[in-house]
Copies of this chain bind each other. A is one copy, B any other.
Amino acid sequence: MRVRALWWDDGRLALLDQRLLPGREVVRRLRSVGEVAKAIRTMQVRGAPAIGVAAAFGMALAAADGRSRPETAAKQLRATRPTAYDLFVGVETVRAAWVGGDDTLGAATAYKDRIVEECRQIGLAGADLFRTRTNVLTHCNAGALATVEWGTALAPLRVAMERGAKLFVYVDETRPLLQGSRLTAWELGRERIPYAVIADNAAGHFLQSGNVDAVIVGADRIARNGDFANKIGTYEKAVVAKENGVPFYVAAPWSTFDGSKVSGRAIPVEERSADEVLEVAGHRTAPARANARNPAFDVTPARFVTAFVTPDGLIPPGKLAARLSRTRRPE
C-alpha cells in the first residue's frame, strides 16, 4: 500500500502525524505558516526532503494569508531545525516566487513534484545495487514518510523488490525517537518487504558476521566534499561498514546537497531535549535527576561513502565537487 507523508488538501497542508505512528494514523490539516513551523519543530513531519516540501507549502500558506511578509515567514520556517538543507531550499524556492510576484502555491506544488520525481529517479538509479546485495542495513527512516513518496534510501529497495530481488532489511530502531522501529518497519510492512528491527547496538554484530551486503541511508545535508550529516548513529554504522568491507550508500535528492559548505565541519548539528533520551516513548526510564546529551545528527566523513545515489545516478564522493559545480542549483 502506497505511503504519502503529506499532500495539499483544499487550501490546507495535510500530513500524517509521524509522532503517533505506527500506533495511530492521524492526519493533521495545517492552515498557517505558524502551524507548519510547529509541525516541523515538533517532528510531526520529519526527514529532510519532506521538511523541505512542508516548508514550501508553509511559505505558500503565508503568501495567501494577506498578513505575512516573505522575509518574516522564511525566517520563521528556517528557525525550526538547523541541519536539514532541504528546509532552506524549500523555503527559498517559494520565497523567490513570492517576491517575484509568481504563484506561490504553484511554486510549492512544483517543488513537491520535483522532489517526488527525484526520489523516483533515485529508486531507478540505485535498484541494481540490490540485485545481488540482498541483505541490507538501513538507519532511521529514509522512506516515503521522509520524502513525500518513494523515499531516498528505501526507493531503490522498492524498485529492486518490484524487479524481483529477494531482499531482507535490517532496520536500526534509531533511538532516541525510534524512526526505524516505528516508521521504517511500518513502511516495509505495508510493502511486504521482509525485515527485522534491531537495536542500534546490534548493527555492528550483523555487519561483522557477514549478514549485511550493503548499507543505505538518507542524508540531512551533504557538503561539497562529500561529508554528510544524517541521523545520529549514521557515523558509527559507516565506520563499522568500512571496517568490514561492506559498501555504504547515501541516497538523496539534489535539495540535500549544500554546495556552499566546503566540508562537514561547517554543517550545524541540532541538539534536542535531554528528555528524548531520558524517556522512551514518553515513559521515564532514567533516574529522576539524570543528565543527558542529545545530538540529533552526526557528520560522516566522505571517505566512508562508497557512492551517493542521486536522481542522476551513482556519484562517488571524489567526483561530487565537480558535479555540484556543473549542476544548476535547485533554487
Tell me if B233 and A287 are in contact (CB < 8 A).
Answer: no
Chain B residue contacts of A232, Cβ below 8 A: 199, 201-202, 205
Tell me if B170 and A199 are in contact (CB < 8 A).
Answer: no
Query: Per-position contact with B for A223-236: 1 when CB-CB < 8 Å, else 0?
Result: 00000000111011
Tell me if B291 and A197 are in contact (CB < 8 A).
Answer: yes
Known contacts A22-B286, A236-B236, A281-B281; can you find 7 more A-B pairs with CB under 8 A?
A: A189-B289, A197-B291, A199-B277, A202-B233, A205-B298, A206-B293, A281-B283
Is A165 close to B, CB under 8 A?
no
In the bound complex, CA of A200 to CA of B199 (Å): 9
The interface stretch among A8-16, A58-66, A101-109, A175-183 is A175-183
Cross-chain pairs A/B with CB under 8 angstroms, 10 sampled: A172-B201, A173-B285, A178-B285, A189-B289, A196-B291, A196-B293, A197-B278, A197-B290, A201-B232, A206-B293
Of the listed residues A201, A206, A236, A290, the one surrounded by the most CB atoms of chain B closer than 10 A to its CB is A201
Tell me if A290 and B236 are in contact (CB < 8 A).
Answer: no
Q: Please report the total number of A residues contacting B with Cβ < 8 Å.
A: 56
Tell me if B285 and A189 are in contact (CB < 8 A).
Answer: no
Question: Can you list the 5 inter-chain pairs with the closest CB atoms, starting with the nearest?
Answer: A201-B233, A204-B236, A205-B298, A280-B280, A22-B287
Is A174 close to B, CB under 8 A?
yes
Copy number of this protein in the oligomer?
2
Tell me if B189 and A287 are in contact (CB < 8 A).
Answer: yes
Tell me if A208 and B281 are in contact (CB < 8 A).
Answer: no
Chain B residue contacts of A178, Cβ below 8 A: 280, 285
In the bound complex, CA of A194 to CA of B206 (Å): 33
Tell me if A197 and B298 are in contact (CB < 8 A).
Answer: no
- Interface residues of chain A, those whose CB is within 8 Å of chain B, are 22-23, 170, 172-176, 178, 181-182, 185-186, 189, 194-206, 208, 231-233, 235-236, 239-240, 243, 269, 277-278, 280-281, 283-295, 298-299
Q: Which of B205, B208, B281, B286 contacts A181 (CB 8 A)?
A: B286
Question: Chain B nearest CB: distance from A209 CB in Å?
Answer: 9
Q: Which of B22, B195, B198, B236 contacts A240 (CB 8 A)?
A: B236
Tell me if B243 and A181 are in contact (CB < 8 A).
Answer: no
Q: Which of B194, B204, B292 contacts A235 (CB 8 A)?
A: B204
